[in-house]
Structure 1
Amino acid sequence: MVLLIKAILSLSVFIMKVGANPAATQSSVHSVSQCHDWGELGNGAVRVIEGEATWLPCPLFSHPNVYNYSSAQAAGLNLVWYHVASGQDLEQPIDFHHPDQRLSKERETLWLQPATMEDNGQYICMLRNRTSCAKIAVHLEVVQPKPNCEGKAAVPSTLVNVPIQGGKFLTCPDLDDVKLPNTSHSVTWYHNCDANAFMNADRKVEKDELRIRQMFEMYQGLYHCVVTYETKGRTLNFTRMINVSAVSSDGVPKEPRILNPAVDQIYPVKQGSEVNLTCRVMLPFTEGPRETWWTIDGKTVEQLADPRFSNTSRMVKVYFGDWTVEIVLKIKDFSSEDLRREYNCSARNRRGMATSRATLEEEAYLPSVELGCGLGITLFLMLVMFVVYHIFWLELLLLYRSWFGTDERSTDDKEYDIYISYARNSEEEQFVLLTLRRVLENELGYTVCIFDRDSLPGGTITDETLSFVGRSRRLLVVLSPGYGLEGTQALLELKAGLDSMAWGRHLRVILVQYKPLGRNGWVHELRRARVALVLVRWQGEKSSDLSSRFWKRLQVELPLRRVKDLIENKNSNTIPLQNKAIH
C-alpha cells in the first residue's frame, strides 16, 4: 500500500507538470516511457459465485484525496483494463463493445454482469498516456454455487453486533454500488436460509432494510440478503452475508472488573521454583480494543526484557460478547529479590481501566521428601507386621501369654486342669488315651482327669461326674457322630460343664471335633451353646505333629503355663512343645 501511494503521488506530480507546461508534453512524446507495475493487490482475491454480478474497482483510485478519476480524465490519462486468464500469461485488452454487453466499465469500476467461469484470472487496470503509465492487478475467483446455506455467498460475511433486547437496522452490504442511473432493485432477506423468519413484530423488513426491534439470543446467526436489479434489459443479482451476534446490553456496567487477584488474596511462593500468578478479568463488550496485561514494578513483560518472566493468556468464557480472560504471569527461578517486587494486573477497554495488585507470601518449607519416605516406610512396616501377624498369630499369642499371662493355679483352688469328655467306644477312647492324654500330660504338663481312669469303684456316677467337672478348669469335649446320645455318660458331662460355665464357676468348655458332624449330629445342648464355645478341628495326620496348628490352637484355650514352669519341665525331661509326631 505504501508503494501504491508513492506511485500515485509521482503520477499526480507528473500530471501537474504536464498541465502547467504543454511544451514539455510535446518534447516528451518521443521519449520511451516505462510503466510502473505494482503487482497484484495484496488484499486477496475477489470471490464471486457463478451467475451473480460483481464489480472490480481499480485500486489506483482507492485514495481519492491523493488522486481521483475526474482529475485523471482532466489530465488526459486513460483507464484501460486487461484480463489475464487462469493458466495464461498474455494480457488481453477487455472488449467493452462485445454484443452480449456482459462486461462494462463505469468510471473506475469494471462490472461483470453476470460472472462466468471463464472470467477467472487477473484483471489489470492501467492508467496511461503517451509518456507514462501505472498499473496494478486484481485477482478474481469465480466459484460454483453450493447447496448448503453458507455457500450461497462468496464474499466473507460482515459482523454486526446487536445489544440483547436492543434494536438495529441491517443494511445489505454493497447495496449502494448498484444504485446506478436507469436501474431498479429489490432486496430479499433470509435468516438461516429461511425467508419466512420475519413474520413477528420483533423482526420486520422495511423497504431494503431489516429492522430488529428487540434482539434475542435465538436471532443470532447468518443473515443472507439477495439484491436483485435490472440493467440493460437483464435481471441480475448478488448475495451478501451478515453474521449477527447478540451482545450485552448498553444498560449494564461496561467497565473492566478484575476477579482475581482479590483484595485479600495471597499467592504462596517458593524460592527456586517456578511461580505462576493468575489474573482473571471480566471485560464487558464494547466497541474497540480490550486489553489485559501484567506489570512488574510498573513495566510490562516486554519492557522488562527478563527471560525469566513470561505471560500467557486464554479466553475462559464468552457470554453475549462479554469476555472472561485469564492471563498467567510465569516467573522462573523465583528469588528473594522477586519477592520484593510489585506485581499488578491491569485491564482496559473503551469505558475504563482497572488494576489489582497481587500479594505474595513465601510459604513455609515442608520436608515433603522426608515425610514421603517416612510415610512409605511406616506403611511398609505396617504391611509386614500385618502379614506376619496373619501367618504367625498363634505363635505370637502363645509367646505373649507365656510372658505376660496369669497362671490360673494361683487364682483358684481347682484340682485338675482338664476334664476330657468323649463317647465311650474303641476309636474315640483310643484317640483320647493315646493321643490327647499323653500329649497334655507328658508333653504340655497339664493335669488331666478322665472319669473311667480316675473314678473309684462303688461311687455314684452322677455325683462323681459333677464333682470331677467342678474341680476342673477346662472341659474338653471330643465330638464325633456318636457323642451325646440320650442317657450316656458323655451327655451328663456335657450338661454339667455347660451349667458350670453358665453360672460362672471358672470353667470353660472347649470342643474338639474328632470326626465331622452333620447338622443333625449336634445335640440340643450344643446347638444352643455353639456360638459361645471354641471349636478346634482334628485333621488326622496333618494334626499329628506337635508343631501343627491343632496343638497351638488348643494350647491357646488351655490354662496358662508360665515360662519358668516350662523351663522346669524341660529340665525334668518334659518338652512342652516340639516338632514330634504322635504314634
Structure 2
Amino acid sequence: MCHDWGESGDGAVVVLEGEVGWLSCSLFSHPSVYNYTSALSTGLNLFWYRLPAGHDLEQPIGYSQRLSKERERLWLQPATAEDTGQYICMLSNKSSCTKISMRLEVLARDQVVRGCEPAVAVAPSQVIAPLQEGMTLDCPDLQDVVKMADSSPSVTWYHRCQKFPTWGSDREQRGLSLQIHVMLTTYDGSYYCTVHYQRRGRELQYSRSINVTAVYPSSLPKHPSILQPTQDHIFKVEQGCTQVRLECRGHFPYLAGDWDIWWTVDGKKVEELNNSRFFQNNRQVKYDYGDRTVESVLLIQNLQAKDLNREYNCSVRNQRGFDTHRAHLEQEVPLPSVELGCGLGVTLLLMLVLFVVYHVFWLELLLLYRSWFGTDERHTDDKEFDVYISYARNSEEEQFVLTTLRRVLENELGYSVCIFDRDSLPGGTITDETLTFVARSRRLLVVVSPGYASQGSQALLELKAGIDGMARGGHLRVILVQYRPVRRQGWVRELRRARVALALVRWQGDKSRELTSRFWKRLRVELPVRRVSGVEGGGGGGEEGGSEGEVALRRLHSQNSTSSQTGLITNTVKEPQKVISIAAYL
C-alpha cells in the first residue's frame, strides 16, 4: 500500500541555470505529520525519483557529485536545463509508503535578466526597515549553503545597479551581512546578494533578492485613530432616499501585527446582523511609509424609518489601541425649491428693473433726492447771486444767454442770475466789478464756444476769477456749458485745466429747449437746490420766500435786457480805462 499525496500545492521550484538549487521534500512541510529524524527512527527511508517527460513510471535518481541528497533535500550543484521536470520524494518501509511530487523549473539566464540587476529566479524576500534606525540584511538560505561548502563562502551585495562598497558611510558590509546604520528613504528598494563557495573543487554560486520597504520610525505613536466622521457626527438623509452611505476613515500607523476597521449597528457587526439591507465595504485609500488610511463604507439599502433611530459606531483597532466614533442619521428637511427659485427669480428681476430704472432715470432720481434732502445754500452763506454767467461777447452767444439761459434760470427755475452787461453800474472799473460779481455768486456758469476766452477779454478774466475762487476756499463752483463744439487746441490753458475736474453740460439745440430735457436736468444738478414746484406755485415769480418787490425788480431787469446790450457798447467806448484794467489783471 502506498499513499500518494499528489503534487505539492506550493508551486514549482524555480532555479537559475548554472546556479545552485535544491528540492525540499514537501512531506516534511507538516512537522506534526512527518519529521525527518522521527521518520528515520521508525524505519522509514527517504527515496527520490524523477518522472522524465513522456514517461509514465518514475525512475530512481542516480546520485553524483552534482546531484546529492542531504537529509530531506535533493541538491543540484549546479542545475542544468535537463533537470527540468517532476520529482517525487517517497517515505517507505517494507509494508507501506507515502509519496508526494514536486515540479522543478530551470530557467536560462536570459529569461530573468532585468537590465543591470543580477539575474534571480527565486521570489524576493520581504524586509521592513524603520526610518532613522539601523538593521542588518543577511542573504537568504546562506546557512544551508555554509553546511555544504568546503570553505567559508563570500557574498557580493548590489543595490540599484551599484555594487558595494560604493554606497557611502551609512551602509557597509560586515562579513557576509550588509549593515545599514541609518535607514533613509533612498535606501529602500531591491537588494541583491550573490553567494560564492567551493565544494569538491568546484566554484559554485547562487543569487537572491531582498525587497526592503521603508516605514516610519517605531518611536512615533502607533495608536489608531478615526479621521472621519467626527464624534457624534450627523449624516443628513434626504426625504424619500432609499440608500444611505456612511463613510468612515481610519488611520493605522505601521505595526507588524493585525489591524481592523468595522461598523456596528446597535452594538453588532454587520456580519452579525443577518440583514441583507446592511453591507460593509473596506478599501485602502492611502499608503505612506507603512502608515495606511483605510475607508470603510456602510451601505443601508431600502432605508426604513426605524433605521433613523439605530446606533451606528465606526471602530478601529490594532495591537496598540482602539478608537470608536458614533454617528447619527437625521432626515433632512427639504427646501421649498419652487418657492425659493421663484423668489430668487423675482429678486433678480427686481434688481434688473431697478438697475435699468436708475440707468435711465438717474438724473430724475438725483433731482428728487435733492428736492427732499438737499440744503438751500442761501441759509448757509451770504452770497447775493445764485449764478454768474460768463460768455463770449458776440451776437450769437449773447442771444443764447439773454433769451434762453437767463429766462429759464430766472423765470422758470427761480434762480437769481448775474449778467455783467446787465447788472453792472456805469462808471465803475470792469476788473473790480467783475471780481466783485463773481465773488458774490454761488456758481460761475461758463458758456463755452469757439470764440470764448480769447487773450485780454473779459470772459478770460471771469474764468480766472472763478477758478481762483474754487482753489482758495471752494465757496464758488464753476460749471461749463458747451454751447457749440470746440476743438481742444482752441481751448485756452485755464479752460483745459478746468475741463479735467469740472462738469461739462452740452447744449444740443432744439433737443435741449424744453425744460424737461436732459440739458436742464443736468444743469439743475450742478446748480444750487431749488424746488420748481414752489416757483410755479408763486405764479412764476422770484425765489421762494422772496418779496414782491424783488420779483418785480427781477422782471424789470429781464424786460430791459435788450436795451442794456447797447449800454454795454456805449460804456466800453466811453471808458477805455476799464479795458486797460482787464489787461493789467490778466
Instruction: Identify the residue that residue 196 of structure 2 maps to in structure 1.
Output: 228
Q: Following superposition of structure 1 onto structure 2, how do residues 177-196 of structure 1 map, counting pairs within 5 Å?
A: 177-179=144-146, 183-184=150-151, 186-192=153-159, 193-196=162-165
What's the offset of the Cα at 1:158?
A: 1.1
Alignment deviations for residues 174-209 of structure 1 (CA, whole Å, 9 cap, x no partner): 234435657445131414142216885974423x44
User: How far, CA to CA, are the matches of 1:497 and 1:550 in structure 2?
Assistant: 22
Q: Structure 1 stretches of 5 or more lacking a match?
A: 1-9, 13-35, 571-583
2:232 and 2:325 in contact (8 A); partners too = no
What's the offset of the Cα at 1:239?
A: 0.6
2:309 and 2:329 in contact (8 A); partners too = no
Alignment deviations for residues 146-179 of structure 1 (CA, whole Å, 9 cap, x no partner): 2535553221211223555666554322234435
What amino acid is the match of 2:206?
A: F
What amino acid is the match of 1:154?
A: A
What's the offset of the Cα at 1:478?
A: 0.9
1:171 aligns with 2:141: no
1:349 aligns with 2:313: no
User: How far, CA to CA, are the matches of 1:58 and 1:316 in structure 2?
Assistant: 41
1:125 aligns with 2:88: yes
Instruction: Identify the residue that residue 548 of structure 2 maps to in structure 1.
Output: none
1:159 aligns with 2:126: yes
Relative to structure 1, the CA distance from residue 385 to residue 50 in structure 2 (aligned partners, 3 Å threshold; closer, same or farther) is farther
1:310 aligns with 2:275: no
1:224 and 1:239 in contact (8 A); partners too = yes
Instruction: Identify the residue that residue 15 of structure 2 maps to in structure 1.
Output: 48
Relative to structure 1, the CA distance from residue 343 to residue 450 in structure 2 (aligned partners, 3 Å threshold; closer, same or farther) is same
Bigger mean CA deviation after superposition, 507-516 or 496-505: 496-505
1:403 and 1:562 in contact (8 A); partners too = no
Given the alignment, which residue of 208, 233, 251 partners 1:240? Answer: 208
1:515 aligns with 2:485: yes
Identity %: 48
Instruction: Identify the residue that residue 264 of structure 2 maps to in structure 1.
Output: 295
Relative to structure 1, the CA distance from residue 92 to residue 223 in structure 2 (aligned partners, 3 Å threshold; closer, same or farther) is farther
What's the offset of the Cα at 1:325?
A: 4.7
Relative to structure 1, the CA distance from residue 517 to residue 188 in structure 2 (aligned partners, 3 Å threshold; closer, same or farther) is same
Given the alignment, which residue of 86, 89, 105 partners 1:140? Answer: 105
Relative to structure 1, the CA distance from residue 528 to residue 43 in structure 2 (aligned partners, 3 Å threshold; closer, same or farther) is same
User: How far, CA to CA, are the matches of 2:132 and 2:418 in structure 1?
Assistant: 103
1:480 and 1:517 in contact (8 A); partners too = no
CA RMSD of aligned residues (A): 5.2
User: How far, CA to CA, are the matches of 1:385 and 1:499 in structure 2?
Assistant: 41
SS at match of 1:152: coil
1:284 and 1:323 in contact (8 A); partners too = yes
What's the offset of the Cα at 1:477?
A: 0.9
User: How far, CA to CA, are the matches of 1:354 and 1:543 in structure 2?
Assistant: 86
What's the offset of the Cα at 1:81?
A: 0.7
Instruction: Identify the residue that residue 114 of structure 1 maps to in structure 2.
Output: 78
SS at match of 1:302: helix
Relative to structure 1, the CA distance from residue 163 to residue 459 in structure 2 (aligned partners, 3 Å threshold; closer, same or farther) is closer
What amino acid is the match of 2:277?
A: P
User: How far, CA to CA, are the matches of 2:302 and 2:517 in structure 1?
Assistant: 65
1:488 aligns with 2:453: no
Q: Following superposition of structure 1 onto structure 2, how do residues 409-488 of structure 1 map, counting pairs within 5 Å?
A: 418-429=387-398, 431-432=400-401, 436=405, 450-452=419-421, 454=422, 460=428, 462=430, 474-488=443-457
TM-score using structure 2 length: 0.68
Given the alignment, which residue of 3, 13, 30 partners 1:63? Answer: 30
SS at match of 2:10: coil
2:63 and 2:69 in contact (8 A); partners too = no
User: How far, CA to CA, are the matches of 1:503 and 1:201 in structure 2?
Assistant: 83
Relative to structure 1, the CA distance from residue 544 to residue 205 in structure 2 (aligned partners, 3 Å threshold; closer, same or farther) is farther
Relative to structure 1, the CA distance from residue 471 to residue 212 in structure 2 (aligned partners, 3 Å threshold; closer, same or farther) is closer
What's the offset of the Cα at 1:309?
A: 5.1
Q: Structure 2 stretches of 5 or more lacking a match?
A: 541-586
Relative to structure 1, the CA distance from residue 125 to residue 450 in structure 2 (aligned partners, 3 Å threshold; closer, same or farther) is same
Relative to structure 1, the CA distance from residue 332 to residue 372 in structure 2 (aligned partners, 3 Å threshold; closer, same or farther) is farther
Would you say how many aligned residue pairs link Structure 1 and Structure 2? Answer: 523
